[in-house]
Amino acid sequence: MTDKYIPMVGKRIAARRRIMNRARLCIRVFMATFATIRNIVYKMKKLQQILLLLTCIVVIATGAIQRDGKIAGHDLQDTADIKNNKMQTDTMHTLDDGTVVINTTALGRDISGYGGPVPLEIHLQQGRVVSVRALKNSETPEFFNMVKPLLKSWNGRTPDEALKMKVDAVSGATFSSRGVIGNMQRGLAYADKKAAEQALVSKPDLNAKLIFGLLVALMGAILPLFLKNKRYRILQLILNVVVLGFWCGSFLSWSLFVNFMANGVNIWPSLTLIVMLVVAFIYPLFGKKNYYCTNLCPCGSLQDLAAKISRQKWHISQRLVKRLNLVRQWLFIVLILLMITGISFEWMDYEVFSAFIVTSANVVVLIIGVIVFVLSFFIPRPYCRFVCPTGTLFRFTEKRW
């Protein structure tokens, strides 16, 4: 009996092996198909992110054209308008009383303050500076008012003497100060007939503020990718607030985006901001969503520190959270419509970030900043979660609308 059933047992084993082999093959085919579909979906998601990013760039460019009529420093005015303004932009002309007037609009077109070029009119009599007048610019009025006393620094000096002067930037309005000082140097060099070909990129001014600001920005951009430590996290938050926020006044905002789009980027003074831009817009393409807001933003860092200090938290229902998110989304839509239609751009000056520049911030912004800071003790990141137009832009590019 045993010998009779041996061939049948062998056949059954062989049949089972064939079934197992077919099952394994089917599993492999399924896994390969699943991996292919996953890769396609992943690439489609990346493509969607890129398209959303391009959409945001177009929106910002539209705002720059509506507000300043420029893209990357290139004026989009009609030729007729340019001809009508030619007399106003002549580099040098002489008034009836013999006063020589130097206009730095063309000379300093690559020198930017925070909001773009800061053209000046330099008046000279008998070879000496008698007055300096700021022409129309896109600087925030509160910041630029702090810089205006600088305009008298060169009075009574010859161009040669004025060029040798060391004039310090005004604390709290560093970018605007650099714009004024740079335009004065160009205009004075032209007046002194020592003007040379100017580089498109300004020479680096490696001051302590730039070096430490850049160092802190690079720390926030790189170290959290590899270092998961609570003590380091608190240190980074403090540095973001103290160095990037209060000392350097470096942060991303709608005002900055539109200014850079309209006037281009002066690379050396803006190195810290360039690092922030890369973190905010490029990192999410590689899966690092919300990275800028979490690891670099001074405003978000201040709210996180306040939340760590207080243990008492207010309970907010999910229903209320959804409603507040809806308010944030509609606020963002309204503000964007105001910008792209050219109705209003003033809202950009009321984002809470400029409260870090205490000496020149608008009173309304300072009040908003204090309210946000106090609420942060009881509600995690109230401004970031329920208001921030800049953060909503980042959410949009990251498909976290």
What burial letters (b/e) apply to 155-190, b meaning 16+ CB within 10 Å? eebbbeebbeeeeebbebbbbbbbbbbbbbbbbbbb
| Average confidence score pLDDT of the chain | 84
Does 258 score more than 70 pLDDT?
yes
Tell me the per-residue pLDDT of 116-168, one tens digit each, with 9 for 90 and over. 788 888 888 888 888 888 888 877 777 788 888 888 888 888 888 888 888 77
Does 224 score more than 90 pLDDT?
yes
**Fold of the CATH domain 80-191:** Sufe protein. Chain: A (3.90.1010)
Question: Rounded CA gap, 72 and 63, in Å?
Answer: 13
Q: What is each CA distance from 43 to 34, 46, 346, in whole angstroms? A: 14, 5, 39
Does 304 score more than 90 pLDDT?
yes
The SS3 of residue 171 is coil
Tell me the per-residue pLDDT of 324-344, one tens digit each, with 9 for 90 and over. 999 999 999 999 999 999 898
Does 6 score more than 70 pLDDT?
no
* CATH 3.90.1010 domain locations along the chain: 80-191
pLDDT of residue 388: 96
Q: Do 343 and 270 meet the contact criterion of CB atoms below 8 Å apart?
A: no
Question: Rounded CA gap, 341 and 66, in Å?
Answer: 7
Does 360 score more than 90 pLDDT?
no
Give Cβ neighbours of residue 63 (< 8 Å, ≥ 6 apart). Answer: 254, 257, 258, 261, 339, 340, 345
Average pLDDT, integer, range 71-79: 70
Beta bridge partners of 75: 70
Sign of CA dihedral 240, 241, 243, 248: positive
The SS3 of residue 154 is coil
Does 82 score more than 50 pLDDT?
no
